Chains A and B, each alone.
Chain A
Amino acid sequence: MNDTSSSEIKREFMKSRSGLVGIGILACLIIMSIIAVITIPIDTFKQWNNPGNWISYPKTSIPIWVNYFTTEKIPEHVIIENPEIITKDGIISLTSQQFMLDYDYSDFPDGLIYEFDTEYSGSVLLHISVIRPDQTEMLLLSTSLPYSDTKTQHHERIFTTDNNIKKNLEFQSANLDANKNTKSSEMLIFSDANGEVLNGRYLFLVNFYGVNQQLEILDSKLIVGGKAFGLMGTDELRRDLMVGLLWGTPLALFIGIVVAIGSVTIGLLYGVYAGFKGKKTDEGMMRFNDIIYALPALPFLIILAVTISNSIFVIIGFLLIFSWVGIAKVSRSMTLQIKIKQYVEASKIMGQTDSKIISKHIIPQLLPYAFASIAISVPAAITTEAGLSFLGLGDPTFPTWGQILHDAHTFGAASRGLWWWIIPPGAMVAITGLAFVFIGNALDAIINPKLKR
């Protein structure tokens, strides 16, 4: 046991390169968590497991930045929401919208969806057409909305797989290919005379015609299906992985830090008390320690998670049960060494109470060790939680990195080459662990200078 003061530790720590790297990574992670909490509404991540919430996103799409590195430009998934609405009143009223799309990719999009929410009465005619980069106009659809006497709200999704759209397009297509009726609607819209992709600016016009009445568009969006989306891509269930990864950060930090601080505190107090009391108390407490030590931790964690609850807070409690044991052992043996020092004996003779001796003389000496073990036990807690989630035992209400990996494994992401689904979550687990290991090792090297020489 050497007595290093806290200011000395700080000074030594500033010299340790790996320690500073660890602090740097940790700072980044904390900034990420803050960004996640501020920018992503809590509702979005609560909806993580609700497929309805992700319906307008593409399936297993690659991150968009991949396009910067490849010559083949993968079509991006674009969602255009609520453009300006122009209304003209008259005997025949017109409510119209324009969706502008700059298309510059090597492949056709994966279908178009026009989704809208309107409020109207009477009969309304819906007319959708597109002006292509070569200035030709194509009619997509001309249809009427269901008639209603009173004011009603109407919600509808129009897909380009619709047969009417397909028929309309076949007549007008510039594509001279003989077997153009085997092609999908979006291929007909986005192809030139040779059947190649026609790049440029597309303008989708949506007009609602009504007779003597008003129509209001409450919400509308045009979804151009693509194979690339967002900074992190999406998974099989159309979820934006960015949301999961960002929200995983505060969760992982929370789990790791709470478990580490909790287990070190419990272990420290338990070990110090056992070591200080000695004799039968020590014997009994250490036997109990042995029992917990002998329990197979992961199987028991699984049993507990299956039988009792898999709520994240309960899981934290379970992790605590198994993680304080080692620290208790070490702090007990350290206490045994400190206990026989003369100043402890002296204060005992002076009539100091046990609790004062423990808190004034013993615990302060163990604090450096305690801080180092907190840092070192964070990664273990995070990886164990990730492991449990990976087995499908995670809390379904919180998207953790382990759960993303679990889904990736169940949907066979490795065999399908969906690297953006596997690498980022695992890398986040590893980086977070690394930050704490760096900090812990730097502290450890200061406390045990023997290892350095």
Chain B
Amino acid sequence: MFGVLMVTLLLTIALVGSNMDVILKQGIIYQVRSEITENSSIVESFDSVKEFEEFVQAQIDQRIKALGLDNPWYSPQRIGFTMYKILILDFGNATFLTSDSGSSNVGEILLEKIPRTVLLFTTATIIISMIGIFLGALSGSKVGSVVDRLTSTFAVISSSFPVWWIGMLMIFLFAFTYHIFPARATPSMLPSEPGYVIALLYHMALPLITIVIIGFGSWAYLVRNFMVGTMQEDFITAKKAIGIKKNKIIYRHALKNAAPPIVTILALSLSGSLGGAIITEAVFDWPGMGRLYFEAISVMDLPIIIGATYVLTVLFLISIFIADLLYGYFDPRVKRE
């Protein structure tokens, strides 16, 4: 697992590194030139243009060296240094982006964005999974019924719709045609004001509804398929024969047996939800991890890209680990192997 983490980081650095270097060097050149031209006493102290240019170049080289940019990004020292810094959770400072409070510390920026993403996407994932498990169990126990057919059809149709497009439609319909919900997902008042929570929930409603509508169908379909498999097992037939109530069989026995894969998916989608959804956040103007990621990539803000990738990958790996543990709890056969 640790290896996976390191490879992910190396790949990120490899992809962004060279562009990052070019941008940083350009930045330094610009900075040095503007500093020197602003200070007219320096400019006047040179006789020829050539001498002046040499001086400027020397200044630039000096600064590049001071920042360690004279080594290419793939040099062992720089990669090693970056990796070491990340491992001790020191993400450094962002190059361009700042948090809303003005800090450019990557850790602080991430801490500011993650709660917002959790608020929207993790809530949505939990609602989706609850509806999905309930509907899936219901339709899995009555294969071929109206509920089952409706769920399956809905799952198939919703799975081919891009969430962000539905988002645009929802904004068009409910924010501008019928003025029910606001279009922007962030409330305009300050967090300290009273009523902020209600305003936030009101603003959150539209993206939340959109994500849930598109999401729960495929969940229900998955759960249904697991349930169909379990409901055909002998022990369920035996329980039916004994005369245990159907609801009890479905929710107590069958669902528990179908639980391991469901729990795995739940763990993965919960950790996945932390990354937010880049495109959905762009549509609803939600200032979470997805937007941060996209902004960071578009201006090549390496520290933020690396920091976010690292945090998300770590969370992803932890959730795989937890899913494995839970798998063992629900299905003790796995442990023995």
B is a partner of A:
yes
The verdict on A390 contacting B176 (CB below 8 Å), with A296-B312, A307-B19, A422-B169 known, is no
In the bound complex, do residue B278 and residue A299 qualify as a contact, i.e. CB atoms below 8 Å apart? yes
Give Cα A432–Cα B283 distance, bound, in whole angstroms.
22
In the bound complex, do residue B225 and residue A296 qualify as a contact, i.e. CB atoms below 8 Å apart? no
Q: Please tell me which stretch of B116-124, B160-168, B236-244 contacts chain A, meaning at least 4 of its Cβ atoms lie within 8 angstroms of it.
A: B160-168
Give Cα A4–Cα B317 distance, bound, in whole angstroms.
38
The verdict on A423 contacting B8 (CB below 8 Å), with A294-B316, A434-B160 known, is no
**Which residues of A162-217 have CB atoms within 8 Å of chain B's CB atoms?**
none
Give Cα A78–Cα B282 distance, bound, in whole angstroms.
37
Q: Please tell me which stretch of A115-123, A130-138, A339-347, A413-421 contacts chain B, meaning at least 4 of its Cβ atoms lie within 8 angstroms of it.
A: A413-421
Q: Does B157 contact A (CB under 8 A)?
A: yes
In the bound complex, do residue B160 and residue A303 qualify as a contact, i.e. CB atoms below 8 Å apart? no
Q: Please tell me which stretch of B9-17, B125-133, B253-261 contacts chain A, meaning at least 4 of its Cβ atoms lie within 8 angstroms of it.
A: B9-17
Interface residues on A, range: 35 or more
In the bound complex, do residue B8 and residue A18 qualify as a contact, i.e. CB atoms below 8 Å apart? no
In the bound complex, do residue A387 and residue B279 qualify as a contact, i.e. CB atoms below 8 Å apart? yes
In the bound complex, do residue B278 and residue A408 qualify as a contact, i.e. CB atoms below 8 Å apart? no
Give Cα A308–Cα B300 distance, bound, in whole angstroms.
13
B161 touches which of A18, A423, A430 (Cβ 8 Å): A430
Residues of A within 8 A of B176 (CB): 414-415, 417
Q: Main secondary structure on chain B at its contact with chain A?
A: helix
B282 touches which of A295, A383, A391, A426 (Cβ 8 Å): A391
Chain A nearest CB, measured from B233 CB (Å): 12
Q: Please tell me which stretch of B47-55, B67-75, B93-101, B290-298 contacts chain A, meaning at least 4 of its Cβ atoms lie within 8 angstroms of it.
A: B290-298
Q: Does B228 contact A (CB under 8 A)?
A: yes
Q: Does A306 contact B (CB under 8 A)?
A: yes
Give Cα A441–Cα B162 distance, bound, in whole angstroms.
19
**Which residues of A405-439 have CB atoms within 8 Å of chain B's CB atoms?**
405, 408-409, 413-415, 417, 419, 422-423, 426, 429-430, 432-434, 436-438
8 extra A-B contacts, CB within 8 A, seeds A303-B297, A422-B169, A451-B228: A294-B8, A303-B16, A391-B279, A405-B168, A413-B172, A430-B165, A436-B160, A437-B156
Closest 4 CB pairs of A and B: A433-B160, A426-B165, A414-B172, A434-B160
Give me the interface of A with B, judged by CB distance under 8 Å. 18, 287, 290-291, 294-296, 298-300, 302-304, 306-308, 379, 383, 386-387, 390-391, 405, 408-409, 413-415, 417, 419, 422-423, 426, 429-430, 432-434, 436-438, 441, 450-451, 453
Q: List 29 A-B contacts (CB under 8 A).
A: A287-B4, A291-B4, A294-B8, A294-B317, A295-B8, A296-B313, A298-B279, A299-B305, A299-B308, A300-B12, A302-B278, A302-B293, A306-B297, A307-B18, A308-B15, A379-B160, A387-B279, A390-B279, A409-B282, A414-B175, A426-B168, A429-B162, A433-B160, A433-B161, A434-B156, A437-B156, A437-B159, A437-B160, A438-B156
